[in-house]
Chains A and B, each alone.
Chain A
């Protein structure tokens, strides 16, 4: 068992982080807004944690105190929440693909800024972020509760006034407006909730990855998170959670396949480096054949999961 965790600890924690990043993209999507801003907030959250833990908190212990990490997550969540409101109000005036493009631009801007600032370590980034745990797998102590809280939050959200307002705006923004629902308010709220989650996850990730640099919030990441949601399922929070886990593990699986003896070199190379190509293909194929993703509310209902959850 110990051997298993040594080998796969890093992957397992990454999968949990992937699930939460999927959820951070799913939140604005609940209100029908295709935002690809999550990697930007994720990167920002990570920088906040990296800077605080390396420059502000002077922990002398061998292990970085967990309460400090929690505090960093809080700060990251608050800062990303505020930035979410500031960015969301103008950006969410844009619709559909234009919003997606604007949020990609936002991610790029943050990336370029972080490349050029001193405090973020420029192109090199920030190194030697202190470790609160001895092994990778122990990060689950932080990651799993956050995932569970997020899932509970979304599970409840879908059943209450705010979640219904999101759904109404997703279905028909104009009709929702005519039913006394303020579309701007709820779109910004959905966007901001996603930003907060992405920021908190970034704070965990910075410690987990030990270094943080401008490669963390990129356009590639936007596409990958989008795959989590589109293929996993965009109509139930279970979709992005499963999608995030599966697609975080997929590159590892591909790598394993690539290492199979006797595979033609070209193919092996493709499995190893063609991750984005494969993700892109999956998005195309997935949206054609499973427009709602693999996990749909109907599927959950069929399997009785819904009725089981309702109890």
Chain B
């Protein structure tokens, strides 16, 4: 893996240094180091069980590393609780959708605007300023996000009653409601047909620009990743076996071997 000349201005937002996570005897993430630059769309690929989701869990604090460092905006985040990491601007979706099932679509989004409201129990219950105005604003913002993912006509539907594809879209909207700087999408295209995948690809590019995001994307569908991402990291059995621009990763012998199951 040779050092590449980065086309983008080298402005790291996330840095993993020798990140490792063991589950018993299994090393799910093994000594992984990489840097994600601001406003990049960064792909994370690899065979099943390679450790991609575990890497997301490490970044969002849901899983503690066995070793290594993780810097977000040059600050160590490993010791932080998940909610603290989220409030610093890292939002995610889940591979196995984790919406608030009994809440409606719009409630799911409003919930995720938690840190953008200041009212406490007392101002909230009594409806004292700034609570009512904040609530109003919030609802407005939530409607805009629902509209963005094409779910404005399902606002009052319970999340678990939505079709699978809509649930995936709602999860993205919920993550955006946090107004993150870094967005982690775990297999957002799972279960979509080629046409939907195409649209999703466009959508991810659009939100990354419009919301000034940095996006890390786990995806099995290689053409989608190749077409969408600025750079791609390849994990195999927990190890980072390739990192670079799509053309380079595509022709990397180690990657080909991992995907063909040789070596």
Closest Cβ–Cβ distance, residue A269 to chain B (whole Å)? 43
* Cβ contacts under 8 Å, A161 to chain B: 114, 117, 119, 124
User: A171 touching B101 by the CB < 8 A rule?
Assistant: yes
B111 touches A172 (CB 8 A): no
B127 near A156 with CB under 8 A, answer: yes
| Total A-B pairs, Cβ < 8 A | 89
Closest to A177 in B: B82
A147-177 CB mask vs B (1 if < 8 Å, else 0) is: 0000011001101111011011001101111
**With A and B bound together, what is the CA distance between A250 and B257 in angstroms?**
72
* A79 vs chain B, min Cβ distance (A): 19
Query: Could you tell me the distance between the alpha carbons of A165 and B112 in the complex, rounded to whole angstroms?
Result: 9
State whether the Cβ of B221 lies closer than 8 Å to any Cβ in chain A.
no
Contact segment of A5-13, A113-121, A178-186, A270-278: A178-186
Verify B82–A153 contact, CB threshold 8 A.
Answer: no
Q: Which residue of A lies closest to B124 (CB)?
A: A160
Chain A interface residue count: which class? 20 to 34
Minimum CB–CB distance for A188 against chain B, Å: 13
Q: Which of B18-26, B91-99, B224-232, B247-255 sits within the interface?
A: B91-99
B99 near A175 with CB under 8 A, answer yes
Task: Give B166 Cβ to nearest chain A Cβ, in Å.
Answer: 17
Instruction: List residues of chain B with CB within 8 A of the CB of A167.
Output: 100, 102-103, 107, 111
Instruction: Out of B119, B125, B126, B178, name the residue touching A179 (CB < 8 Å).
Output: B178
| B131 on interface, CB distance cutoff 8 Å | yes
Docked-complex contact B82 and A178, CB < 8 angstroms:
yes
State in angstroms the CA–CA spacing of A189 and B124 once bound together. Answer: 15
B169 in the interface (beta carbon within 8 A): no
Q: Are A175 and B100 interface neighbours, CB within 8 A? A: yes
Distance between B179 CB and nearest chain A CB, rounded to angstroms: 10
Say yes or no: is B144 at the interface (Cβ < 8 Å to chain A).
no
Contact A164 B110 (CB under 8 A): yes
Are the CB atoms of B135 and A160 closer together than 8 Å?
yes
Inter-chain contact A177/B86, CB cutoff 8 Å = yes
Complex contact B117–A178 (CB within 8 A) = no
Which residues in A have their C-beta under 8 angstroms from that of B103? 167-168, 171
- Tell me, in angstroms, the Cα distance from A156 to B121 when the chains sit together: 10
A224→B125 CA distance, assembly (Å): 29
Would you call B83 an interface residue if the criterion is a C-beta within 8 Å of the partner chain's C-beta atoms?
yes
Residues of A within 8 A of B127 (CB): 156
Report yes or no: B83 in contact with A182, Cβ–Cβ below 8 A: yes
Asked if residues B125 and A157 are in contact (CB atoms below 8 Å), the reply is yes
Query: Distance (Å) between the CB of B208 and the closest chain A CB?
Result: 20
Q: Which of A178-205 contact B (CB under 8 A)?
A: 178-183, 189
Interface flag for B120 (CB, 8 Å): yes
Q: Are B131 and A160 in contact (CB under 8 A)?
A: yes
Task: From A152, A159, A172, A177, give the contact of B100 (CB < 8 A).
Answer: A172
Assuming A160-B135, A172-B100, A174-B62, is B124 touching A165 (CB within 8 A)? Answer: no
For chain B, residues 108 to 148, give those with C-beta under 8 angstroms from any C-beta of chain A. Answer: 110-112, 114-115, 117, 119-121, 124-127, 131, 135
- Measured CB to CB, the residues of B under 8 A from A are 60, 62, 81-83, 86-87, 91-92, 94, 98-103, 107, 110-112, 114-115, 117, 119-121, 124-127, 131, 135, 174, 178
